[in-house]
C-alpha cells in the first residue's frame, strides 16, 4: 500500500498543505514539507487526534500492524510499541527525548566480524532505527510557522497584516486589500500617478496608498512569489510515481586532523579505481563514487563550515553525515560541534572511527565517549553505526560505503529525473577566463546544456557543464554534482538553483529578488541581540534564546550551560545549541547565524576573522571573565534591565614575533601591530590560541629604543605587560579601553 503524503491528506481535509505541515509538526510528527510521507501509524495517530470543526477526522482504515516493514523474524525482536503515538525511538541510555523520523528496514547482518566487516546485509535480525535528532532553529522553518500576522492597534483591536509582493497590478492590489480598484486609482491620482487597473505599481507606492486607506500591509517574502512563478513553470506537487531512487549525499565532518581530507581522498580513489582506473578527478566541491553498483555523492568540502553555510541559507542537501573520529584521539571539541550541527539539521550520523591502523588506536574508547552525546554504538545496544576505518590503509572503507548505502536505503531517497532541474549551489567563484563558475548539486530533475537557470539574484543559460571527472557533459540528473558556466553573476553557496522554461522567467525571478533585497534592507527583522532582547521577547519575536557557549575549559562551560538553562521561564526558553571548550570559530558564528542565536565566550576571544564574520552575519558575541557576570547579563537582558554603563572598545591587536628578557623590566614582546593601534594607556589582554590567558595594564611601549605614545598598524614595537612575563611567540596582544556609554 502506498503511504499518504502530506498534500494528499491536505487535499482530503481541504486545508492548505503548509498549514498541515505545521499542525503535524506540532503533533510531533516529523514531516518536512508537503511531500513528506506519513507512516500508517502516524497517519492514524493524526486522524485520531486532529479535530476539524471539533470532530476528530475518522481513521481511513482499520488499525494495521504498526511496523509493516519489519520482516517476520524481526518482528519478534522488535520492542512492542504502544500504538498511542507516532513511532518514537527508545534508546537504552539516551537521555534526551528525540522526536524522530523513525524508519526501519532491512538491517545489516549479524555479529560484525573482527575486522568490522559484516557477512551479509540481508540476513540480520536486528532492527535498525535511524533517528535524526531534533533541534531545529533554522530561520526558514520559523518563517513557515507564521501563517498570518496580526497587528494590534492603539484601541486594542487587531487587524490583519496583508502581505504584498515587490510589485503587482493595481487590480491585484485592490483584490488583496479588498478595496475597490477605483478607490486605489483615485488615491494614486492624488499622488500624481496615473495608473490603469492593469498597470504595475511597486511596493513602496502600494504602502503609501495602503496607509491612506488605513490598511496594514507588509512586504511579502519574495520566495512566496518566486514559488508561485515556479509552480506555473512546473507543478511542484509532482507525481510520486515518476520518482526514482537517487544517490545519497554525504557530508564528512569531524575534529581537525582526525582525517576528513584523507578519508575523502581515500574514498574518492576507491570509487574511481572501481569505475575507471587511473581516472583523474577534478575538485569541483563534490564527487560521486560507486559502491556495490550504486552511486554515493560526497560533498568534498570537509568541515562543518560548508554544512552550516548551507543550512544558514535553508538548504538541507545532506542525507547522511559521516562523523570522523580518530581512534587515537577520541571525541574532541569539534567532534561535539559536528554532532550538534548534524543534530540541528536532523541528519543521521554514521561514525567512522579512523586511524585504526595506529598501534595506540582505541575504538572502544571512542564509542564510550560518544555515548555521552547520545550516540550509542549498535554493538552496544544503541542505534549508531560505527565503522572502524583507516584512511591510510583503506581498511574498512568498503564497509563504510556499505553502511552509507544501507542508511540511505532506509531513507528512501527519491527524485523525479524527468522534470526541470532543481539544485543547490555548493561552491561558486569568478573565473577570469570563464566568468562565474559554480558547482551545483542537482536535487531533482535533469539539468541540460542550454537550460535557462536562476539562482538567487544570478541568472543565465547553461553554456557548459563539467562533471567531477573533468569531463564535459550534456545532462546531469539527481544527486549529480556538476560545474556550470553561464550565470551572469556569482551565486552564493547554499543558494537554491532552478532551471526554468525560458530566459524571461529566469530574469524575472532574479530581478524580483533584487528589488526585494532592496526593499527588505530597511525592514529586515532584527537579529537576536542582548541589548534588544527584552523588546524582542515582548513583541513575541523571541520565544527561544539560542546560545552557543565557548570557554577556556570544559568545566566552566558546563557550569555556565547549566546555570543558563535554568533561566528559562514560561515566556522564553534558553536553548544551549552548542557548548564546547576552545576559542570561538567562524563555524560557531555560522551556527549562531543559522539558528538566530548569540555566542557567549568565557575567557576566550574571537580572532579577527571571527569578528568580521560575526559583523557580517549580525551575530552578537558577548565575552565574559566571570561566570556570574555572564549569567547576570542574560538574566538582565531577559528582563529588559541590561544597560551597559561601560563598553569595551578594542583599539588594536599586535602579534608577538619575538620575546626578550630585559633586566628589571621582565619579558618584553617584540610585536607587529596587525590591526588598529596600540596606545600607551590602553589595557592589554594576552591571547593564546584564542584563549585569554592574562588581562592587565600595558607597562611599556617602545619603538626601537624610544618610548612611544602609540604605534599604528603595520609597525613594529616592543611591549611590556604589567606583572606578566609569560609572553610567548605567537601570542596575540589585544589593546582595549573601557568607554562610558550613556544609559538609555
Ligand atoms: N595513521 C593514520 N594516519 C592518518 C589516517 N587518516 C589521516 N591520517 C593522518 O592524519 C593527519 C590529518 O589528516 P587530514 O586528513 O589532514 O585531517 P583533517 O581532519 O582533514 O584535518 P583538517 O583538514 O586540518 O581539518 C594527516 O597527517 C594524515 O596523514 C589514518 O587512517 N591512519
pLDDT band at 412 (very low <50, low <70, confident <90, very high): confident
Nearest protein CA to atom 29 of ligand 1, as residue: 262
Does the pLDDT value for residue 431 go beyond 70?
yes
pLDDT band at 275 (very low <50, low <70, confident <90, very high): very low
Ligand 1 pocket member 91 (CB < 6 A): no
Gap from CA of 319 to ligand 1 centroid (Å):
24
Gap from CA of 355 to ligand 1 centroid (Å):
8
In this predicted structure, what is the pLDDT of residue 739?
A: 78
Ligand 1 pocket member 259 (CB < 6 A): yes
pLDDT band at 127 (very low <50, low <70, confident <90, very high): very low
CA angle 598, 603, 607 (to 5 degrees): 70
Ligand 1 pocket member 262 (CB < 6 A): yes
Indicate the pairing of strand 158-160 with strand 150-152: antiparallel
- If one compares 255 and 30, the residue with the highest pLDDT of the two is 255
In this predicted structure, what is the pLDDT of residue 249?
A: 93
CA angle 48, 50, 51 (to 5 degrees): 110
Q: Which residues contact 436 (CB under 8 A, 6 or more apart)?
A: 428, 429, 430, 458, 485, 487, 488, 489, 490, 491
pTM here? 0.53
Nearest protein CA to atom 13 of ligand 1, as residue: 259
Nearest protein CA to atom 3 of ligand 1, as residue: 355
Gap from CA of 126 to ligand 1 centroid (Å):
33
Say whether 356 counts as a known binding-site residue. Answer: yes
Q: What is the 3-state secondary structure (H, E, C) of 195-232?
A: CCCCCEEEHHHHHHHHHHCCCCEEECCHHHHHHHHHHH
Q: Averaged over 220-241, what is the pLDDT?
A: 71
CA distance 112 to 666: 61
Greatest mean pLDDT among 131-140, 338-347, 415-424 lies in 415-424
Do 661 and 667 touch, CB atoms closer than 8 A? Answer: yes
Place domain 530-643 in its CATH homologous superfamily. Answer: Translation initiation factor IF- 2, domain 3 (3.40.50.10050)
In this predicted structure, what is the pLDDT of residue 368?
A: 95
In this predicted structure, what is the pLDDT of residue 140?
A: 35
Gap from CA of 354 to ligand 1 centroid (Å):
9
**SS3 label, residue 325:** strand
In whole numbers, what is the pLDDT of the chain averaged over residues?
77
Nearest protein CA to atom 8 of ligand 1, as residue: 259
Gap from CA of 256 to ligand 1 centroid (Å):
8
In this predicted structure, what is the pLDDT of residue 626?
A: 81
Which atom, in ligand 1's list, is nearest to the CA of 391?
Answer: 31
Q: What is the DSSP letter of 101?
A: -
pLDDT band at 310 (very low <50, low <70, confident <90, very high): low
Gap from CA of 263 to ligand 1 centroid (Å):
8
Does the pLDDT value for residue 524 go beyond 50?
no
- If one compares 291 and 571, the residue with the highest pLDDT of the two is 291
Ligand 1 pocket member 357 (CB < 6 A): yes
- Encode pLDDT of 57-107 as tens digits: 554 443 333 333 333 333 333 333 333 333 333 333 333 333 333 333 333
Do 576 and 561 touch, CB atoms closer than 8 A? Answer: yes
- The topology under which CATH files domain 647-740 is Elongation Factor Tu (Ef-tu); domain 3 (2.40.30)
Say whether 302 counts as a known binding-site residue. Answer: yes
Say whether 254 counts as a known binding-site residue. Answer: yes
Percent of the chain at pLDDT exceeding 90? 28
Say whether 456 counts as a known binding-site residue. Answer: no
Say whether 324 counts as a known binding-site residue. Answer: no
Angle, to 10 degrees, between the axis of helix 627-639 and the axis of helix 554-565? 20
Nearest protein CA to atom 30 of ligand 1, as residue: 355
pLDDT band at 673 (very low <50, low <70, confident <90, very high): very high
Do 346 and 136 touch, CB atoms closer than 8 A? Answer: yes
Gap from CA of 262 to ligand 1 centroid (Å):
5
Question: One fold for both 247-412 and 422-522?
Answer: no
Q: Which residues contact 225 (CB under 8 A, 6 or more apart)?
A: 165, 166, 512
pLDDT band at 527 (very low <50, low <70, confident <90, very high): low
**SS3 label, residue 78:** coil
Say whether 256 counts as a known binding-site residue. Answer: yes
Determine which helix (DSSP H) or strand (DSSP E) holds 244, and give its type and residue range.
strand 244-245
Gap from CA of 253 to ligand 1 centroid (Å):
12
In this predicted structure, what is the pLDDT of residue 52?
A: 64
- In CATH, what number does 422-522 get? 2.40.30.10
Say whether 707 counts as a known binding-site residue. Answer: no
- If one compares 310 and 41, the residue with the highest pLDDT of the two is 41
CA distance 611 to 519: 27
In this predicted structure, what is the pLDDT of residue 606?
A: 87
pLDDT band at 343 (very low <50, low <70, confident <90, very high): confident
Say whether 34 counts as a known binding-site residue. Answer: no
Place domain 247-412 in its CATH homologous superfamily. Answer: P-loop containing nucleotide triphosphate hydrolases (3.40.50.300)
In this predicted structure, what is the pLDDT of residue 80?
A: 37
Ligand 1 pocket member 302 (CB < 6 A): yes
Gap from CA of 43 to ligand 1 centroid (Å):
46
Which atom, in ligand 1's list, is nearest to the CA of 258?
Answer: 19
Ligand 1 pocket member 392 (CB < 6 A): yes
Gap from CA of 332 to ligand 1 centroid (Å):
15
Gap from CA of 587 to ligand 1 centroid (Å):
20
Does the pLDDT value for residue 334 go beyond 60?
yes
Nearest protein CA to atom 21 of ligand 1, as residue: 257
Q: Which sequence spans correspond to the domains of the chain?
A: 4-128, 147-220, 247-412, 422-522, 530-643, 647-740
* Substitution candidate for ligand 1 out of 262, 265, 400 with most atoms within 8 A of CB: 262
Does the pLDDT value for residue 617 go beyond 60?
yes
254: left (phi over 0), alpha (psi -120 to 50) or beta: left
Nearest protein CA to atom 27 of ligand 1, as residue: 257
* Substitution candidate for ligand 1 out of 257, 270, 366, 393 with most atoms within 8 A of CB: 257
Say whether 261 counts as a known binding-site residue. Answer: yes
Greatest mean pLDDT among 130-139, 161-170, 556-565, 649-658 lies in 649-658
Say whether 300 counts as a known binding-site residue. Answer: yes
Amino acid at each position: 500500500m502506498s503511504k499518504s503524503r502530506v498534500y494528499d491528506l491536505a487535499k482530503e481535509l481541504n486545508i492548505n498543505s503548509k498549514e498541515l505541515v505545521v499542525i503535524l509538526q506540532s503533533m510531533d510528527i516529523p514531516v518536512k514539507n508537503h511531500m513528506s510521507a506519513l507512516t500508517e501509524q502516524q497517519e492514524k495517530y493524526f486522524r485520531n487526534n486532529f479535530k476539524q470543526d471539533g470532530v476528530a477526522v475518522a481513521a481511513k482504515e482499520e488499525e494495521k500492524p504498526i511496523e509493516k516493514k519489519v520482516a517476520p523474524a524481526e518482528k519478534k525482536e522488535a520492542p512492542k510499541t504502544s500504538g498511542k503515538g507516532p513511532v518514537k525511538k527508545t534508546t537504552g541510555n539516551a537521555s534526551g527525548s528525540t522526536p524522530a523520523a523513525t524508519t526501519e528496514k532491512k538491517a545489516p547482518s549479524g555479529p560484525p566480524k573482527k575486522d568490522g566487516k559484516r557477512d551479509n546485509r540481508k540476513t540480520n535480525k536486528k532492527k535498525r532505527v535511524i533517528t535524526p535528532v531534533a533541534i531545529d532553529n533554522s530561520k526558514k522553518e520559523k518563517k513557515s510557522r507564521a501563517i498570518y500576522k496580526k497587528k494590534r492597534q492603539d484601541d486594542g483591536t487587531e487587524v490583519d497584516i496583508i502581505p504584498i509582493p515587490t510589485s503587482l497590478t493595481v487590480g491585484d492590489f485592490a483584490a488583496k486589500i479588498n478595496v475597490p480598484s477605483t478607490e486605489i486609482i483615485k488615491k494614486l491620482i492624488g499622488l500624481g500617478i496615473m495608473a490603469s487597473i492593469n498597470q504595475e505599481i511597486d511596493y513602496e507606492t502600494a504602502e503609501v496608498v495602503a496607509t491612506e486607506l488605513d490598511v496594514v500591509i507588509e512586504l511579502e517574502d519574495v520566495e512566496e512569489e518566486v514559488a508561485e512563478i515556479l509552480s506555473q513553470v512546473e507543478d511542484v506537487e509532482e507525481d510520486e510515481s515518476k520518482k526514482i531512487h537517487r544517490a545519497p549525499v554525504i557530508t564528512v565532518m569531524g575534529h581537525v586532523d582526525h582525517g576528513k581530507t584523507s578519508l575523502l581522498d581515500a574514498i574518492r580513489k576507491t570509487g574511481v579505481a572501481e569505475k575507471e582506473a587511473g581516472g583523474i578527478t577534478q575538485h569541483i566541491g563534490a564527487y560521486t563514487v560507486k559502491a556495490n553498483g550504486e552511486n554515493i555523492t560526497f560533498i568534498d568540502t570537509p568541515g562543518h563550515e560548508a554544512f552550516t553555510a548551507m543550512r544558514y541559507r535553508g538548504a538541507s542537501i545532506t542525507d547522511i553525515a559521516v562523523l570522523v573520529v580518530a581512534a587515537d584521539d577520541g571525541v574532541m571539541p569539534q567532534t561535539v560541534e559536528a554532532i550538534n550541527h548534524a543534530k540541528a539539521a536532523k541528519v543521521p550520523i554514521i561514525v567512522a572511527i579512523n586511524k585504526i591502523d595506529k598501534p595506540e588506536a582505541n575504538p572502544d574508547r571512542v564509542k564510550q565517549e560518544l555515548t555521552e552525546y547520545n550516540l550509542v554504538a549498535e554493538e552496544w545496544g544503541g542505534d549508531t553505526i560505527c565503522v572502524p576505518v583507516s584512511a591510510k590503509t583503506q581498511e574498512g572503507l568498503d564497509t563504510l560505503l556499505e553502511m552509507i548505502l544501507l542508511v540511505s536505503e532506509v531513507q528512501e531517497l527519491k527524485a523525479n529525473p524527468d522534470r526541470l532541474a532543481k539544485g543547490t549551489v555548493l561552491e561558486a567563484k569568478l573565473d577570469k577566463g570563464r566568468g562565474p563558475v559554480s558547482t551545483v548539486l542537482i536535487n531533482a530533475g535533469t539539468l541540460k546544456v542550454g537550460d535557462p537557470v536562476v539562482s538567487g539574484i544570478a541568472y543565465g543559460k547553461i553554456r557548459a557543464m563539467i562533471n567531477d571527472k573533468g569531463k564535459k557533459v550534456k545532462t546531469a540528473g539527481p544527486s549529480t554534482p556538476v560545474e556550470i558556466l553561464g550565470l551572469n553573476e556569482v551565486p552564493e553557496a547554499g543558494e537554491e538553483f532552478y532551471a526554468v522554461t525560458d530566459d524571461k522567467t529566469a530574469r524575472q525571478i532574479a530581478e524580483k529578488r533584487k528589488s526585494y533585497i532592496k526593499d527588505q534592507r530597511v525592514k529586515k527583522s532584527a537579529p537576536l541581540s542582548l541589548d534588544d532582547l527584552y523588546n524582542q521577547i515582548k513583541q513575541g519575536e523571541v520565544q527561544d534564546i539560542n546560545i552557543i557557549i565557548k570557554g577556556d575549559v570544559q568545566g566552566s562551560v558546563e557550569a555556565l550551560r547549566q546555570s543558563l538553562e535554568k533561566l528559562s521561564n514560561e515566556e522564553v526558553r534558553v536553548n544551549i545549541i552548542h557548548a564546547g571548550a576552545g576559542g570561538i570559530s567562524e563555524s560557531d558564528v555560522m551556527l549562531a547565524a543559522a539558528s538566530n542565536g548569540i555566542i557567549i565566550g568565557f575567557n576566550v576571544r574571537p580572532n579577527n576573522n571571527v569578528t568580521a564574520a560575526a559583523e557580517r552575519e549580525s551575530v552578537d558575541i558577548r565575552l565574559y571573565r566571570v561566570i556570574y557576570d555572564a549569567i547576570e547579563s542574560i538574566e538582565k537582558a531577559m528582563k529588559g534591565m541590561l544597560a551597559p554603563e561601560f563598553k569595551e572598545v578594542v583599539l588594536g591587536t599586535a602579534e608577538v614575533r619575538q620575546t626578550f628578557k630585559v633586566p628589571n623590566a621582565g619579558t618584553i614582546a617584540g610585536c607587529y601591530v596587525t590591526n588598529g593601534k596600540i596606545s600607551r594607556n590602553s589595557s592589554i589582554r594576552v591571547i593564546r590560541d584564542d584563549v585569554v590567558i592574562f588581562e592587565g595594564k600595558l607597562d611599556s611601549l617602545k619603538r626601537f629604543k624610544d618610548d612611544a605614545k602609540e604605534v599604528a598598524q603595520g609597525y613594529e614595537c616592543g611591549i611590556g605587560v604589567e606583572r606578566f612575563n609569560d609572553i610567548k611567540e605567537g601570542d596575540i596582544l589585544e589593546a582595549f579601553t573601557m568607554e562610558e556609554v550613556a544609559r538609555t
